[in-house]
Amino acid sequence: MVETRRQQQLDEVASALFRERGYAATSVREIARALDLQGASLYTHMASKEDLLWSIVWRVAERFRTTVEPLAEGPGTPEARLRAMIGAHVAIVAGEREHAAVFLHEWRFLGPERKAEMAARRDAYEARFREVIAAGMRDGTFRNGHAAITARALLSSLNGIPAWYRPDGPLGPGELADAYANLFLSGLLADRSEPAPARPPQPPRRRRTRP
Amino acid sequence: MVETRRQQQLDEVASALFRERGYAATSVREIARALDLQGASLYTHMASKEDLLWSIVWRVAERFRTTVEPLAEGPGTPEARLRAMIGAHVAIVAGEREHAAVFLHEWRFLGPERKAEMAARRDAYEARFREVIAAGMRDGTFRNGHAAITARALLSSLNGIPAWYRPDGPLGPGELADAYANLFLSGLLADRSEPAPARPPQPPRRRRTRP
């Protein structure tokens, strides 16, 4: 129990330092100092600085894998699934900004094997988005286009959130997710068939049919 | 002349190392070794490792400032200006991936004053995008929404390009810019008034009017 709390503290402190100064520039001594420990006694809680990075990165990767990836399988239309995936992704990057930032920017400092494992996981994750987007392009929900580029554009965009989002700002994570989903689904240009609350009701237009 | 070439080599080698290993994890000795120089003689070409980072970051910032920012002022509609800005931004991030990646991810390792200067420049740059987006929202070209979030979403998305774009891939920078501009302007959802080359001509719909 004490061990678990210490472990949590260690993760928090290391995340904050890795995020602020970068993994490579953060020494074990600094982590120990932030915890009021001696460098040597820190090693009773972890095997190496890289293990600490791995534990943070791995946990965030697991969160993405277990909460976002299943949404790709459905149920629902590609649009509904993509919205759900955006919502779940935003919940992580806005809800755990510090850990998410370390996951996103410091994973490349892992040793070769762990780095390769994480690269494979990231590819698989991106593939879930690409598949849902491609499914929507096939069934005519989405305009034809580059599913791979769209998936990358969307994920890069969402992954920028930890850099600027403040939980005490005007938007909660749910509203933030809606703003991103609306932007990517409906685009910036006005005059479209998508729900535009300020406009009076419009005659329904058919969707999912292409001439 | 020789000095200039050496300076260029130094920038290239440092960019590659900073990008691959991160600024903090790259030593002056490694930069010197990659140039077949002794560490000490490297200092005849630069005052410090941070100066080298600054020279790379500053040059990229200047490229953005001089080629993208003026496009915010017009002429043209907000849509046309935003498209032009996206095109010019993509030309930099796709055309100078290595320098752009260092600019984007390593600038935070600058010393406090230079870091503050760069943060201010980045804010000013983002503000140009926000202003054009807000202008489009005001004149009804763009749907009402969060101009600040839209600007951040767009820039995060474009700034992901250096991480995956390959110049020998299927898309040139111009096509890439079009794909991003179309995505952000028209969104993923089909059935809209925006140009969709595969569809037969549609009766014109009015734009820029809101009920």
Single-letter residue type at B185: L
Q: Is residue B189 helix, strand or coil? A: strand
Top pLDDT among A143 and B37 is at A143
Write the pLDDT tens digit of every residue in B120-164: 999 999 999 999 999 999 999 999 999 999 999 999 999 999 999
Residues B49-186: name the CATH superfamily.
Tetracycline Repressor, domain 2 (1.10.357.10)
Task: Tell me how far the alpha carbon of residue B14 is from its chain's centroid.
Answer: 19
Give the pLDDT band of residue A3 (cuts 50, 70, 90).
Answer: low
- What CATH architecture applies to the domain A50-186? Orthogonal Bundle (1.10)
pLDDT attached to residue B209? 43
User: H-helix or E-strand containing A140?
Assistant: none
- Taking 80 as the threshold, does the pLDDT of residue B211 lie above it? no
Give the pLDDT band of residue B34 (cuts 50, 70, 90).
Answer: confident
Q: Do A156 and B159 touch (CB under 8 A)?
A: yes
For chain A, positions 31-60, list CB contacts with chain B under 8 A: none
Q: Is A47 exposed, middle or buried (0-12, 13-18, 19+ CB in 10 A)?
A: exposed
**B122 interfaces chain A, CB cutoff of 8 Å:** no
Q: Which of B24, B82, B180 is opposite residue A22, by nearest beta carbon?
A: B24
Whether the bond between A75 and the residue before it is cis, its omega within 30 degrees of 0, is yes
Q: What is the pTM for the complete model shown?
A: 0.86
Q: Which of B24, B146, B156 is opposite residue A24, by nearest beta carbon?
A: B24
Top pLDDT among B65 and B6 is at B65
Domain layout of chain B by residue ranges: 49-186
Residue with tokens 């820039």: B155
| Phi and psi based region of residue B204 (left: phi greater than 0; alpha: psi -120 to 50; beta: remaining) | beta
pLDDT, averaged across chain B: 87
B119: closest CA among B61, B53, B55?
B61
